[in-house]
Amino acid sequence: MAKLYFRHGAMGSAKTLNLLAIAHSYEMQSKKVLVMKPKLDTRFGVGLVTSRAGLEREADVLLTGESVFTSEQFFGVSCVLVDEAQFLDPCVVERLRQVATIQGVPVMCFGLRTDFRSRLFPGSQRLMELADSIEEVKTTCTYCSRKAIMNLKSVDGKATLTGPTVCLGAEELYVPACYQHFCEKIIAATGRDSDFDAHWLAGLQQPRAFAHSSLLSLIRQHPPPVSTQGPAAESSPSYSQISHIINIV
């Protein structure tokens, strides 16, 4: 059985350059590769797989949520390479998993792990759930020498956590950042401490601004109700006990 690979990295970590290098290596050995990418990614032209270093090639297959594969597509193929895999529909990830399992062709997917709000892309999440091998393509923070793990979005020179998750317009700028500088830039621009923006706990649609004091301090000042009877008294705080703090701020 061949493997499904997910190689993720922050913006500017040469993921596409790695993909193109692998394709070139296979083809130098007269081996056939299939290069795929999501159809919605048209930043550098429709159907083009382009690295920031200037190298590019045509994609063999443009993927949508309705994409299906046939065994004939993979006859004689030594490897499948997928660029911008974070934009894949989870169903397509599952079909690529079957390509590796049933067709016996290794599938290597390259993409971002999380968006500019630090949330997993649906395609990336499914890849992390199904991939045989998960590897990080490393790069350094734009503002220091630490490893970049975040994707910082700026609009008009200011960091932001707002806007659509998938936004390919030229007015937005995404740079790799370490977690410390990601937080510092967000705080300076929005006044929100991204460390403790726990609106997702309550399933809120819009972020709620938090003071710069830590969530731990708030919990100490306003301890949640804990049962003093039965097994619950010895267990970890429940969801309701933790989430009550959201209503305080």
Helix (H, G, I), strand (E, B) or coil at 47: coil
Q: Supply angle C-alpha 7, 158, 208, rounded to 5.
A: 85
How confident is the model over 240-244, as a mean pLDDT? 44
Band of residue 168 on the pLDDT scale cut at 50, 70, 90: low
Does the pLDDT value for residue 206 go beyond 80? no
What confidence score (pLDDT) does residue 204 get? 47
Closest CA relative to residue 95, chosen from 132, 127, 136: 127
What confidence score (pLDDT) does residue 100 get? 97
- 194/97: higher pLDDT: 97
How confident is the model over 134-156, as a mean pLDDT? 95
188 C-beta neighbours (distance < 10 Å), count: 10
Catalytic site includes residue 172: no
What confidence score (pLDDT) does residue 208 get? 45
Any idea where the domains of the chain sit in the sequence? 4-136, 199-247
pLDDT tens profile 90-99: 999 999 999 9
Predicted model pTM: 0.75
Instruction: Tell me the average pLDDT of the chain.
Output: 81
The dotted CATH code for 4-136 is 3.40.50.300
The active-site residue, picked from 84, 129, 171, 172, is: 84
What confidence score (pLDDT) does residue 234 get? 44
